[in-house]
Amino acid sequence: MSLRPTMTTPEGPENGWRVLRKVAPYLWPKGDRTARIQVVVAVLLLVAAKLTAVATPWFYKAAVDSLSGEASGDSVAWMLALGAVGLTVAFGLGRIMEVAFQQARDAVFAPVGQAALRALALETFRHIHALSLRFHLSRRTGGLSRIIERGVKGVAFLLNVLVFSLVPLMLQLLLVLVILWNAFGWSYMGVVALTIGAYIAYTLKVTEWRVKIRTEMNRQDTEANQKAVDSLLNFETVKYFNADRRESARYDAAMAAYETAAVKTERSLALLNFGQTFLITCGLIGVMVLAAVGVERGDLTVGDFVMVNAYMVQITMPLNFLGSMYRNIRQSLVDMEDMFALLEQPAEIVDRPGAPDLRVTGGKIHFDHVQFHYDPARPILHGLDITVPAGKSLAIVGPSGSGKSTLGRLLFRFYDVTGGALKIDGQDVREVTQESLHAAIGVVPQDTVLFNDTIRYNIGYGKDGASFEEIVAAAKKARIHDFITGLPEGYDTQVGERGLKLSGGEKQRVGIARTLLKDPPILMLDEATSALDSHTERDILSALKAAGEGRTVLTIAHRLSTVADADEIIVLEQGRIVERGSHEMLLASGGRYAEMWAVQAEDREAA
């Protein structure tokens, strides 16, 4: 299963507005009065900063006119009273106040922006964990992490731009246009308005073209990152097959494609920047020529010329920012596409509204004529009827592809049955909360994967807030305590990425201890010893036998020697039960189980 088509494309910018509408609520948190007050105060400070910015050129003009002796009675009385020095100081104070308002605005809004970013990141993280196993089996970890990283960074950018850049920029441009029209006439405003219009049109057109290039660059970046992560996660496999150069070549090929797209991006950026500078400069020259002619005619003062120049500088700077801002907005929307698509990816397995918690009274498991398929054209299980009495043990064996592991995934509700029902103590697992179901089942998988942390942390993962004494007790039950205490750092020993610093048997014991600490009423052993040698297997089996005491145990196994003590054994082939009974009964019947036992006995003797 893959993500649906991206939400924002260069050909459909209206979808970009849909993304923006998804971001907007994070700026106005529902039910958070403090955050909303902070947003309002920040906006007021923003307006104050812009009003101060457009007022300061008047002080600049008055100071120049005073120094040049062109100040007249037409000037405001208080400006004449201040004099050149006073007006210069007032101009400087205006600049300081503008910056002060801007910085105060940033300081006031910072908690809102960071809280919004945290909320979105948490929502994305939770949603990923809520998605089905089917989704995660089809995704690449490297690509997924890259999507989240770029998406969250894109949101962080937009949260600031939407509040503090786009609106104030438009406000400042409008104020300057009004002032130029009121002070100098339509011609000045016309030149500036034409410049702004041409600049915006050029910027939008070129940026939309660049977005296509940026999309391809992101795709190549994700591909290269996926190859790098996959290769590093499979470090040992790479070494086993002497594939260092092969992996380097694959990575270099992906980076070469990224390089090509990145070069196109940089070149298109150069074209955009040059065009923007050309248009701005033309507008600046046009207005300054009009002002120079006005001064020569005596219609304007030198101070007016300086003020016009100051306003053009005010326009030039935000317009340059407009180009950069729009470009970054579009690029951020591209970066956010997959993340929001991920958030819209529906969870395959969900709790029904008002679902109660699972109540485990004994731990009886009943596969009630269960049918299942991943693909309707290829059924996996065909009406299986299996009961595991409370406190008893059931083993499911059979060749690869017979459906053994699928039963375990259905029990944990990684998938829902497509026919029949799966019940625990009479309760359909589809009718109870997943959280309570998962809490009731402990799993020891074939390959225990550990976090890159300490042994203490990995065992303690079985119970949130477990004390050190509880961790040690679980380790003792799993018969790994002596090994841990023999390590230089004991329980604080780092296990490495995916537990690679420990042997297979040591990892399995840590996994058993973790499950024992969880203390579930139902225990599922999914090929828990198939990857271990015979000596290690015997040690692990004794630990597993102790772990299963007083619990309902479902064992999925390929090695028959590991299930001989089960209360009942079921043999599966192609999703159907072909034999069932105790170990002795199945051997005596001379059927499929006896054949498998004989073959594996020969393999054990040969080993």
Residue pair 578/402 in contact by the 8 Å Cβ criterion: no
Is 381 found in the same domain as 248?
Answer: no
In this predicted model, which residue has the larger pLDDT, 392 or 60?
392
Average pLDDT over residues 312-335: 71
Most confident of 232-236, 372-376, 444-448: 372-376
For residue 570, which phi and psi values (nearest 5 degrees)? Answer: -120, 130
**pLDDT at 54 > cutoff 80:** no
Phi, psi of 392 (to 5 degrees): -105, 175
Least confident of 134-143, 247-256, 339-348, 575-584: 134-143
Q: How far apart are CA 481 and CA 478, in angstroms?
A: 8
**Average pLDDT for 423-448:** 90
CATH number at 114 reads 1.20.1560.10
Strands 522-526 and 419-424: unpaired
Does the pLDDT value for residue 327 go beyond 70? Answer: no
CATH number reported for the structural domain that contains residue 503 in this entry: 3.40.50.300
The answer to whether residue 296 sits within a structural domain is yes
pTM here? 0.64
Tell me which range, 173-182, 265-274, 336-345, is most confidently predicted by mean pLDDT. 265-274
Map residue 376 onto helix, strand or coil: coil
**Cα dist. 54→136, 176, 179, 307, 523 in Å?**
54, 7, 9, 10, 72
CA distance 240 to 501: 17
Predicted confidence (pLDDT) per residue in 297-320, tens digit: 877 777 778 778 777 777 777 777
Q: Check if the beta carbon of residue 211 is closer than 8 Å to that of residue 331.
A: yes
- In terms of domains, do 333 and 390 share one? no
The answer to whether residue 246 is domain-embedded is: yes
Q: Give the pLDDT of residue 370.
A: 94
Same domain for 284 and 390, yes or no, is no
How many CB atoms sit inside 10 A of residue 12's CB? 11
**Residue 3 maps to a domain:** no
- Range in 324-328, 464-468, 482-486 the model is least confident about: 324-328
pLDDT tier at 7, thresholds 50, 70, 90:
very low
- The one-letter amino acid at 483: F
Domain shared by 336 and 378, yes or no? no
Residues 377, 497 within the same domain: yes
Amino acid at position 237, single letter: T
How would you write 84-102 as a 3-class SS string?
A: HHHHHHHHHHHHHHHHHHH
Strand-strand pairing, 552-557 and 427-428: unpaired
Burial of 133 (0-12, 13-18, 19+ CB in 10 A): middle
10 belongs to a structural domain: no
- Does 219 map to a domain? yes
Within-domain flag for 1: no
pLDDT of residue 142: 57
Same structural domain for residues 520 and 478? yes
Same domain, yes or no, for 471 and 579? yes
Using an 8 Å Cβ cutoff, are 440 and 522 in contact?
yes
Distance CA(193)–CA(139), nearest Å, equals 50
> Averaged over 544-565, what is the pLDDT?
83
Residue 215 vs residues 8, 22, 205, 208, 370: alpha-carbon distances, Å: 10, 21, 16, 11, 45
User: Does residue 442 sit in the same domain as residue 570?
Assistant: yes
Helix (H, G, I), strand (E, B) or coil at 538: helix
What is the number of domains present in the chain? 2
**DSSP-derived secondary structure letter, 531:** T
Closest by CA to 342, choosing from 138, 497, 172, is 138
Tell me whether residue 353 is in a domain: no
Q: Name which residue leads in pLDDT, 258 or 149.
A: 258
445 has a pLDDT exceeding 80: yes
The dihedrals phi and psi of 388, each to the nearest 5 degrees, come to -110, 105
Q: How much is the CA Rg of the chain, to the nearest whole Å?
A: 35
Q: What is the average per-residue pLDDT within 438-444?
A: 89
Residue 465 has pLDDT above 80, yes or no: yes
Residue 84 phi, psi dihedral angles, 5° rounding: -60, -45
As a whole number, mean pLDDT of residues 383-403 equals 90
Angle at 88 between CA 86 and CA 94, to 5 degrees: 100
Cβ burial of 38 (10 Å; 0-12, 13-18, 19+) is buried
Domain membership of residue 298 (yes or no) is: yes
**Judgement on whether residues 307 and 421 belong to the same structural domain of the protein:** no
Q: What pLDDT, on the 0 to 100 scale, is given for residue 404?
A: 87
CA-nearest of 232, 144, 143 to 497 is: 232
CB 404 within 8 A of CB 559: no
Domain boundary among 276, 309, 344: 344
Four-CA torsion 588, 589, 592, 593, nearest 10 degrees: -30
Which domain range does residue 270 map to? 23-344
**In angstroms, rounded to a whole number, what is the distance separating the alpha carbons of residues 534 and 520?**
28
Considering the domain architecture, whether residues 281 and 337 belong to the same structural domain is answered as: yes
pLDDT for the residue numbered 213? 82
* Residue 568 pLDDT level (bands cut at 50, 70, 90): very high
Q: How much is the pLDDT for 603? A: 62
In whole numbers, what is the pLDDT of the chain averaged over residues? 80
At residue 11, the pLDDT reads: 40
- Rounded Cα distance between 275 and 388, Å, is 75
Q: How confident is the model at residue 533 (pLDDT cuts 50, 70, 90)?
A: low
- Asked if residue 515 lies in contact with residue 444, where contact means CB atoms within 8 angstroms, the answer is yes
pLDDT greater than 60 at residue 83: no
Mean pLDDT of 190-203: 86
Residue 123: strand pairing partners: none
Q: Based on the domain organization, do 500 and 566 belong to the same domain?
A: yes
What's the longest Cα–Cα distance across the chain? Answer: 120
Q: Are residues 509 and 601 in the same domain?
A: yes
From 309, 344, 379, the end of a domain falls on 344
Nearest Cα to 169, choosing from 52, 69, 314, 267? Answer: 314
